[in-house]
Amino acid sequence: MNYSGYWQFWALLAAVFAALTAILAKVGVSEINSNFATFLRTIVIIFALALLLLYTGEFQPIDKISGKSLIFLTLSGLATGASWLCYFRALQIGKASQVAPIDKLSVVFVAIIAALFLGENLSGPAWLGVGLVASGAILISVS
């Protein structure tokens, strides 16, 4: 069965790569400033994405993108940058096994913000899962 069309497949890959990010970054920031490490990582990401877009022919003209999309993607980019700076600093001074679970509290924040601002409705069992994620992240980080 081809799983590449399922969101769960891509979400699981994202989780695997996020785990690798934590481990590789922890080693990478051990000898340099965390902000500069974030800068280097960003250059690698830009280069890799440019190659991917060239290979797939998916570049799009900026003037064809709506103002709303540009504004929200810009804000998302700023939030991503802030997240990366904070994450790399936390990895530099903390244990990867404790930093990564706290970072995953983003799952909890996304659920709350999506419910409040995007009108997404989570079921009772889903909210229970959100609570368990929060509890698990906290338990892992304090051990």
- The answer to whether the CB of 83 falls within 8 A of the CB of 34 is no
Q: Domain limits of the chain? A: 7-92, 104-143
- Does the pTM surpass 0.75? The reply is yes
Share of the chain above pLDDT 90, in %: 90
Share of the chain above pLDDT 70, in %: 99
pLDDT tens column, 96-130: 999 999 999 999 999 999 999 999 999 999 999 99
How many Cβ atoms sit within 10 Å of the Cβ of residue 132? 11
